[in-house]
Amino acid sequence: MTIGARVFCLIGVCSAVWPLVLAAVSPVVFLGYEYMACHTFECCNSRWIKRNETELRERLRENIYGQPFATRILLNAVGNRWSDPNQEYDKPLVMMLHGPTGVGKNYITRTLANSMFTEGTNSVFIHYLTSAVHFTSDDNIKTHISQLQSWIE
């Protein structure tokens, strides 16, 4: 116990004052911790998540060839999500890209990640799953489904 706490307790106001002191100090400590944590580590704020639709549009225009339909859909999905910066969402924006080998699914994914997140593809908010690595056996389809469901929850 600190000297100040001992003095208060000697006066007899220890039990009445300390809850008030803790109530006043706790929010300051929490906000300071949150600021330092989000300054150092990735958080869901504008420092780590860019909301620059113009940059995304330019990167897609410069880097993606022969996929105007995919580019338009991606811009609409992300643009609608970013349209109101004050909007809070209960669920993440999830995209599934389908197509044969070599059409640019991975390339579009990297372009989106690098445009949307300060850390790009190294962001903690990016989870990249590919069937060749994560879902290798057709015999374990039920296992793969339950793993995905538990991982998402």
CA distance 64 to 61: 6
**94-126 per-position pLDDT tens digit:** 888 888 888 888 888 888 888 888 898 899 888
Is this structure's pTM higher than 0.85?
Answer: no
In this prediction, residue 19 carries a pLDDT of 62
- Of 13 and 69, the structure prediction assigns the larger pLDDT to 69
In this prediction, residue 145 carries a pLDDT of 85
Domain ranges, ordered by start, for the chain: 3-40, 53-152
Q: Is 60 exposed, middle or buried (0-12, 13-18, 19+ CB in 10 A)?
A: buried
Helix axes 14-40, 3-11, angle to 10 degrees: 150
Q: Confidence band (pLDDT; 50, 70, 90) for 23?
A: low
Q: Which of 60-64, 72-76, 92-96 has the lowest mean pLDDT?
A: 92-96
The contacts found for 4-10 with CB under 8 angstroms, 24 or more apart, are: none
Q: From its phi and psi, is residue 66 left (phi > 0), alpha (psi between -120 and 50) or beta?
A: left
**33-44: string of b/e by CB count within 10 Å (b at 16+)?**
eeeeeeeeebbe
Which pair of structure tokens corresponds to residue 139?
A: 């015999």
Q: Are 8 and 14 a contacting pair, CB within 8 Å?
A: yes
